[in-house]
């Protein structure tokens, strides 16, 4: 259960009111498990309110009674019910943001044959938007989010998790669409001939290839590396420490997003999640003389 600064005596009346709406006035009791779920729903919404930016506009549709105003004046804290209602409004706004994001990008969405990505986006997100209960169970994520994005969603649940996850998916789409589809497919197929059936991120092989090209100062459109280029890459990577490799990759990502994506800071921040793992992969492969396993050979 999510933590909050509100004591139980302030939360229980809010939960009780929500329980009445859920059960209907003709029902006097609910199973303990359902009451627990409703408590989690209230806590989820309150956390939405508590974690909102300080300058976020308040929800003017939430009525403020004289007693609420008096309580705020007394202890400087928003009453639990008011925080819950404001947080619930934030949840509803995020659901609409997810719907708008999906509608804006689904027509141009390309899974590049990856079944896991296709099912997650085309089937999963439609299911979520159709079944998500923002009132009585906003904390439920509903989806397993199987396709691995570069940046984790930590302990997020509910609309927070799905909205961030979807945002990352469409940032990946923006990145991949910048390159010719045949180029992307060639890299993915060379990376693993069965990539369509794997649960792997599609950005990583393409990004690794691009970083390899930049390390060699080689044009990006020439997919694939020669044996002598692998050897030269080994020499470059083995002269660097892990920190130096990470800094070099970060600088290259900054160059890529500046040159090809109008300095898209959101894309840069997303791709940065791959830096540590990519640096480790490249250096380990260089040490074991197997860069051709992660960087596409020239056919």
Name the pTM for this structure.
Answer: 0.88
Number of residues in the chain: 299
Q: How confident is the model at residue 296 (pLDDT cuts 50, 70, 90)?
A: confident
Q: How far is residue 120's CA from residue 126's CA, in Å, rounded to a whole number?
A: 9
Residue 258: what pLDDT?
96
Query: Do the beta carbons of residue 4 and residue 43 sit within 8 Å?
Result: yes
Please state the separation of Cα 182 from the chain's center in Å.
27
- pLDDT (average), residues 117-141: 97
Map residue 297 onto helix, strand or coil: strand
Is residue 99's pLDDT more than 60?
yes
Is residue 20's pLDDT more than 80?
yes
254-271, pLDDT tens digit by residue?
Answer: 999 999 999 999 999 999
Query: Do the beta carbons of residue 165 and residue 142 sit within 8 Å?
Result: no
Residue 29: what pLDDT?
77
42-80, pLDDT tens digit by residue?
Answer: 999 999 999 887 655 444 433 344 444 444 444 568 999
Q: Tokens 């890529």 — which residue? A: 256
Show me where the domains of the chain are located.
8-90, 181-299
Q: C-alpha angle 50/168/114, rounded to 5°?
A: 145
- pLDDT (average), residues 154-180: 96
Q: Tokens 């804006």 — which residue? A: 104
H helices within the chain, ranges in order? 8-23, 32-50, 66-75, 80-105, 115-118, 125-131, 158-177, 181-191, 203-215, 227-238, 242-260, 265-271, 275-287
């Amino acid at each position: 259960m999510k933590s909050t600064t509100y004591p139980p005596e302030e939360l229980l009346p809010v939960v009780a009111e929500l329980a009445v709406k859920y059960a209907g006035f003709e029902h006097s009791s609910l199973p303990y498990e359902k009451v627990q779920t409703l408590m989690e729903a209230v806590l989820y919404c309150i956390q939405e309110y508590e974690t909102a930016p300080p300058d976020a506009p308040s929800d003017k549709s939430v009525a403020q009674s004289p007693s609420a105003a008096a309580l705020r004046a007394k202890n400087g804290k928003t009453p639990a019910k008011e925080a819950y209602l404001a947080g619930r409004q934030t949840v509803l706004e995020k659901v609409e943001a997810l719907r708008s994001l999906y509608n804006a990008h689904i027509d141009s969405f390309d899974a590049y044959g990856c079944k896991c990505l296709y099912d997650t986006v085309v089937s999963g997100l439609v299911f979520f938007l159709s079944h998500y209960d923002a009132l009585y169970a906003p904390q439920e994520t509903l989806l397993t989010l199987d396709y691995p994005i570069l940046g984790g969603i930590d302990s997020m649940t509910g609309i927070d998790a799905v909205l961030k996850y979807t945002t990352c998916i469409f940032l990946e789409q923006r990145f991949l669409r910048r390159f010719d589809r045949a180029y992307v497919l060639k890299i993915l197929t060379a990376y693993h001939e069965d990539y369509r059936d794997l649960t792997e991120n599609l950005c990583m092989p393409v990004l690794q290839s691009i970083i390899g090209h930049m390390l060699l100062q080689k044009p990006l459109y020439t997919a694939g590396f020669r044996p002598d280029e692998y050897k030269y890459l080994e020499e470059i990577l083995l002269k660097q420490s892990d920190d130096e490799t990470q800094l070099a990759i970060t600088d290259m990502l900054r160059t890529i997003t500046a040159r090809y994506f109008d300095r898209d800071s959101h894309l840069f921040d997303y791709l940065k999640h791959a830096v540590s793992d990519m640096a480790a992969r490249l250096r380990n492969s260089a040490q074991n003389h197997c860069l051709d396993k992660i960087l596409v050979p020239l056919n």
